Structure 1
């Protein structure tokens, strides 16, 4: 089923303007189609109709979803998606309705990320000298996620020309550009991949390629992570995104300040970075409980 025109425009903007991942766009589409179907029960949906929505309309929608068993975490996500859609409507179509004033997201306890141990993270990014070029490629991607703290979508969006000396230029959410230092081990892993890769890697083309020459898909990286996780005996929590968490947690443990970590991760809000102080505190508590003679 085709998306309504307004939704289609918004979803395109998410990908083109804000560089959201395909997974995120699918989640936004699913939420907004449910909201759209709810509104269509009262008649055709257009900008004027959206601008005339009342607090009761938003509360009724969320009430129906909650009655269907929606969890606090899922409800908070739906509220966030609807708010983002109406911010876009205000900017592009002059719709002045502000659901943020009418929808209060339920409180959700933040999950503390579980970091991967440094030696395990380094092992994930190791490939034998005689490995196939795709194995060297996957090792380079995983090492980049850990060693530079990239989101998987950021790593796979890199062009060959984005690497320059000791830095990699990353385009993150909202097209925000940041330069991230690249350690010698990462440069070596990427160099091993590019040397072994049988495909052309022009400066303006994707750095990480699939076997057919297209941009490497996140699904293949996750598959490689599952295989490596099984081989190393790591828990299910050791995902590609956990490598980004590990990058931040290990920097904090070594004395890096939050502002520096914020810049390296590309967080717009320092509050998004402060969760890593909780991670480090949790680690210290584990060490204390396991080592202290009176614990």
Structure 2
């Protein structure tokens, strides 16, 4: 970042501090923002042939933006990564324009590169189990460790969305053999509860220092309020780093894994659709890491017109 002017460097640092404080951005996200916007500012210095203070930066043109995108692509950066970099630059420019009083149209009007959305990446069965075990080791208190294990076990063992797991209340315990879940679009579904999930939640309830009132959140933060999804996300981030798993090993990946492992074990695609609360079968197919041959085998075995 030696080519960046002191004024631009200071502005970048203040923006990063704001992202950390106001948006609760993770250290990983802040590092990516710093790198992406820093690379952009360095390019503009070299592209223009002079140090870019705040006034020159306010005069960036559409042509300058195209030159930056072409240069970035030449470094074999894929469309998805370029879209991420452009998003960071736009966010920085929105902040800078408001602070400095200029119109950032040239930057904000730059179109995102098109890319094909990646299919979800489930964990294999061993990795899913390792994730649950390792999440438990991230917490400093026994009840917090039990809480995090219970949440992740519900994601994997019942295929719940994290919002659905954290939406459970004291009224739901002790867990019955099935849960009535209100999902997206207020669509209700019944989800079987595995013994392992029952046991994990029961252990958490036993250790939790807060009373389990019927109308309060089942899963609590350390101060007693409803647990934030970000806490579970952070715990899984730390666990996946210890396990050497990719960044795709998120809470939602546990739900993907639930679907994939059921299908691989011979589960019916339509039944799995119901368990996940998907409106369409194509969405369920996208959740399952199996090839077309495997899907066709299930159809051949279960479709009424097969044979």
Alpha-carbon distance between aligned partners in 2 of 1:71 and 1:207, rounded to the nearest angstrom: 33
Alpha-carbon distance between aligned partners in 1 of 2:282 and 2:19, rounded to the nearest angstrom: 26
How do residues 77-96 of structure 1 correspond to structure 2 at under 5 angstroms? 77-96=84-103
* Match for residue 243 of structure 1 among 254, 267, 270: 254
What's 1:253 paired with?
Answer: 273
CA change 1:11–1:110 in 2 (3 A) is same
What's 1:188 paired with?
Answer: 202
Q: Please say if residues 147 and 201 of structure 2, whose CA atoms lie closer than 8 Å, have aligned partners that are also in contact.
A: no
Q: Please say if residues 256 and 288 of structure 2, whose CA atoms lie closer than 8 Å, have aligned partners that are also in contact.
A: no
* Match for residue 45 of structure 1 among 41, 48, 53: 53
- Using the TM superposition, give the Cα deviation of residue 35 of structure 1 relative to its aligned residue in structure 2, in angstroms: 0.9
Cα RMSD for the two superposed structures: 5.1
How do residues 44-193 of structure 1 correspond to structure 2 at under 5 angstroms? 44-46=52-54, 48-98=55-105, 99-101=107-109, 103-115=110-122, 125=132, 133=142, 136=146, 139-140=149-150, 142-143=152-153, 146=156, 149-150=161-162, 165=170, 185=198, 187-191=201-205
- Using the TM superposition, give the Cα deviation of residue 257 of structure 1 relative to its aligned residue in structure 2, in angstroms: 5.6
Q: Please say if residues 126 and 139 of structure 1, whose CA atoms lie closer than 8 Å, have aligned partners that are also in contact.
A: yes
- Using the TM superposition, give the Cα deviation of residue 17 of structure 1 relative to its aligned residue in structure 2, in angstroms: 2.3
Q: TM-score under structure 1 normalisation?
A: 0.57
Instruction: List structure 1 runs of 4+ shifted beyond 6 angstroms.
Output: 117-120, 204-208, 247-252, 281-284
Alpha-carbon distance between aligned partners in 2 of 1:7 and 1:80, rounded to the nearest angstrom: 15
Q: Please say if residues 120 and 256 of structure 2, whose CA atoms lie closer than 8 Å, have aligned partners that are also in contact.
A: yes
Alpha-carbon distance between aligned partners in 2 of 1:275 and 1:25, rounded to the nearest angstrom: 35
| Structure 2 counterpart SS, 1:17 | helix
| Structure 1 counterpart SS, 2:93 | helix
Alpha-carbon distance between aligned partners in 1 of 2:97 and 2:89, rounded to the nearest angstrom: 12
- Using the TM superposition, give the Cα deviation of residue 58 of structure 1 relative to its aligned residue in structure 2, in angstroms: 1.0
Aligned length: 237
CA change 1:124–1:192 in 2 (3 A) is farther
Alpha-carbon distance between aligned partners in 1 of 2:285 and 2:295, rounded to the nearest angstrom: 15
- C-alpha deviations, 1:32-91, integer Å up to 9, x for none? 111111233432321x32221101111111222222222222222212221222233344
Unaligned 5+ runs, structure 2: 135-140, 173-192, 210-221, 263-270
